[in-house]
Chains A and B, each alone.
Chain A
């Protein structure tokens, strides 16, 4: 379903777009890296050599100089729960500034600034337990009444997480330091905030869209990834979390782990859903490189959920008794796991796109860039003690690349579907033509069969009637026994029979009334010749579709026979022919006369009557012959 690729002609455009997006990402990353690197070159006096003293608690106490010892910052400090005070003295140059100020680039924990024991500002709480870590840069003005050469500047680093990284800070004019402050804030606060918003948007989209699309698990995995990403930023950005500093650290740590796990889940989903099926190979290698089946991916989803839950449980347990060391330990271990996980994703995704012939460059570059940026950031944080800047840039572009790529894939799918529909339509049309041809052939055969049947029936009729009559006449004429009168009579009879056949063919289609109407012309001359009045009592019996030419002819012959009998034996004065419907499915044709009638014995033995019975049987009709001295009646009852 998802295997369709964008058409080749749009591939060049796609490549250009991909290169543009990658270039933008690189430019942005480079910019951020430059800002990050330049934090050490901020104008003003950089202070990296200071006096440091450990406090018994997190609250500020003005200590005498004797309590301090020299130290360089940043120094690796860990795991003491109480605050540290870093002290330096203002120089004459510092004090001569118009608006003297101090730029604290970063203290991993909170930082409060004091001048000669008086609090001038900062992030933290002077009178209680410190809030969550404040990693953001601070630009604090030194009140002019306090800014004198030799004044003591104390920076209290309140321990929240326990890293205690106070980076070198800068003293100078407020306006001089301000641009650096803005850039640092962009890097450490604004960009993460934007990233969190992007994550929230992606998560919202995925969870809303998941029920609408076929690839539900894919969208769920992306949604989970984005949610974890948002969670991570909540942990990073909230300075005063309602759930407390320790719990906020937990949120950050669990979200960090969840982000990594969900990233693995998402990339496996993506490379499985959109992949072509592969021939089997070693199971472990296949698990790493090949598309996973839906069953395996379902177990993967469950496992990711279970692992996140386990991380949450472990983290809350660890932080419950040793928040500072625990936070750093978990963070470090998670970071190392992150490098492995991201490396796995990188290999998998690169192989996936290599197999597809790099037909999705936007998607591929965005994915690879995100993964590489994540690895780089983790390495920067873990091994160089600096801030990660690359992932921020990559994530800003990630949804864009994803949307462009999905649109391209959707286009491929639509085009494939259209092509399939066209093909199907063609097939249907072809099949329809075939069926039509077959149907025409069948109809042609049926027609020709009907013709053959009709022909043979007509031949039978000819043989039955006119043929026999003509042969009889010929034989009689040959033997010289035939008078002219008899010959003419016989020939007339033959012609009559032929006309009856013609009439049956013409009238036989569906109207018994019409058929009998035509029959009158056949018997009336004979009645006239015998001086018998013909009483015609034909009722309209409606359509009789079952009475075809064949049956019509049989009816004609029965009636003719009955008429012959009546005229020959009964010498009637009147002969009546009637047709009426006696029930919805039955009609009766009757021929009655007022002649002398005939012997009852003849009814059963007479040749003519036997003929009539045979014909009636063939018709499926009932023949009723009655006779009395007052006349006879032949009635034919048939379904019609």
Chain B
């Protein structure tokens, strides 16, 4: 990070006090990060966002609701915000749901300082962390969509993106995937970000579709 850059302001929304403090400690230790505020509920988190936040670290299981709702809100209101989900298991279901809502990456709870810092930095630099589990989950969902219903507005993944995703699901790292495909690790990250974006867009069009189906929204009216 260049010295002229101001420190990124990090908001932490986590209901477990110990984990929250641990995350705060890691953030404070990192020279380029600053704490914007700590919250233990969705409501408090929402209030934090109004104060101007660069990075949101958020747990999904909160006492007053699901973190996914706040992620969706934050993404809609502050398009530039970086959102990182904090998860115990990094299980694909919750991570993919968060990505669909607009999250940029995930962080395992209990990760070491270095790991956590690396993950946050990677997201800040425009990276898109992805686990093999998440990758294969996305692939499986894509197969389901291909065989079943496909929405009008759905952006399909390109061949290259699918190939990258397939190798990521096998457990290969960015660097390894880059070597396998003869591209730079940066391009791999771009592919993953593009996949994430499409997921978020698709999930929104799906939400619209479902809303229309449910009669909540009327088109041409």
Q: Give A residues with C-beta under 8 Å from B.
A: 492, 495, 498-499, 502-503, 506-507, 511, 513-514, 516-521, 536, 538, 540
Contact = CB atoms under 8 A, between A and B. Distances in A.
Quick one: which of B89, B110, B135, B172 has the most chain A CB within 10 A? B89
Contact of B132 (A499, A502, A518, A540): A518
Given A511-B136, A538-B171, A540-B166, A502 B91 contact: yes
B170 A503 contact: no
Contacts of A520: 132, 171
18 contacts: A492-B110, A498-B89, A502-B89, A502-B91, A506-B91, A507-B136, A514-B132, A517-B136, A517-B168, A517-B169, A517-B170, A519-B171, A520-B171, A521-B131, A521-B132, A521-B171, A536-B171, A538-B170
Contact of B92 (A499, A506, A519, A538): A506
B114 to A, nearest CB: 11
Q: Report whether over half of chain A's contact residues are helix, strand or loop; otherwise say mixed.
A: helix
A517 B176 CA distance: 13
Quick one: which of B92, B140, B168, B170 has the most chain A CB within 10 A? B170
B92 A513 contact: no
B116 to A, nearest CB: 14
Quick one: which of B133, B136, B139, B168 has the most chain A CB within 10 A? B133
Interface string B127-141: 000011101110110
B25 interface: no
Nearest to A510: B140
B93 interface: yes
Contacts of B171: 516-521, 536, 538
Contacts of A513: 136, 169-170
Nearest to A500: B89
Contact of B93 (A498, A506, A511, A540): A506
B132 A506 contact: no
B146 to A, nearest CB: 15
Nearest to A503: B133
Contact of B133 (A495, A498, A514, A538): A514
Nearest to B166: A540
Given A514-B170, A517-B170, A518-B171, 5 more contacts: A506-B93, A513-B136, A517-B136, A538-B171, A538-B172
A522 to B, nearest CB: 10
B176 A506 contact: no
Closest 8 CB pairs of A and B: A517-B132, A517-B171, A514-B136, A520-B171, A538-B170, A502-B89, A518-B133, A517-B170
B135 to A, nearest CB: 7
Contacts of B131: 518, 521
A514 B137 CA distance: 9
A540 B170 contact: yes
Quick one: which of B89, B91, B92, B132 has the most chain A CB within 10 A? B132
Contacts of B92: 506
A492 B131 CA distance: 19
A502 B109 CA distance: 14
Contact of A536 (B90, B166, B172): B172
Q: Report whether over half of chain B's contact residues are helix, strand or loop; otherwise say mixed.
A: helix
A514 B89 contact: no
Interface string B147-174: 0000000000000000000101111100
Contacts of A511: 136, 140, 169
A450 to B, nearest CB: 19
Interface string B73-105: 000000000000000011111000000000000
B176 A514 contact: no
Contacts of B172: 517, 536, 538
A504 to B, nearest CB: 11
Nearest to A502: B89
Contacts of A507: 133, 136
Contacts of B139: 514
B74 to A, nearest CB: 26
B221 to A, nearest CB: 39
Given A514-B133, A516-B170, A536 B176 contact: yes
A179 B98 CA distance: 113
B89 A517 contact: no
Contacts of A536: 170-172, 176
Given A517-B171, A520-B132, A506 B166 contact: no
A499 B170 contact: no
B48 to A, nearest CB: 29
A135 to B, nearest CB: 92
B8 to A, nearest CB: 26
Contacts of B176: 536
Nearest to A535: B176
A495 B87 CA distance: 13
Contacts of A514: 132-133, 136, 139, 169-170
A589 B6 CA distance: 49
Nearest to A513: B170
Quick one: which of A495, A517, A520 has the most chain B CB within 10 A? A517
Contacts of B136: 507, 511, 513-514, 517-518
Nearest to B135: A517
Nearest to B110: A495
A556 to B, nearest CB: 13
Contacts of A502: 89, 91
Contacts of A518: 131-133, 136, 171
A369 to B, nearest CB: 73
A499 B135 CA distance: 17
Contacts of B93: 506
Nearest to B136: A514
Nearest to A505: B91
A518 B110 CA distance: 18
A554 to B, nearest CB: 18
A419 B139 CA distance: 56
B112 to A, nearest CB: 9
Contacts of A492: 110
Interface string B198-210: 0000000000000
Contacts of A498: 89
Interface string B167-188: 0111110001000000000000
B83 to A, nearest CB: 21
A502 B95 CA distance: 13
Contacts of B91: 502, 506
Contacts of A499: 89-90
B170 A506 contact: no
A526 to B, nearest CB: 13
B159 to A, nearest CB: 15
A278 B92 CA distance: 79
A506 B92 CA distance: 7
Nearest to A495: B110
Contacts of A503: 89, 133
A129 to B, nearest CB: 100
A436 to B, nearest CB: 24
Contacts of A517: 132-133, 135-136, 168-172
A294 B169 CA distance: 80
A271 B139 CA distance: 79
A264 to B, nearest CB: 75
A516 B131 CA distance: 12
Nearest to B172: A536
A622 B131 CA distance: 30
Given A495-B110, A499-B89, A506 B133 contact: yes
A411 B85 CA distance: 77
Nearest to A499: B89
B91 to A, nearest CB: 5
A507 B89 CA distance: 13
A514 B171 CA distance: 8
A538 B132 CA distance: 12
A640 to B, nearest CB: 16
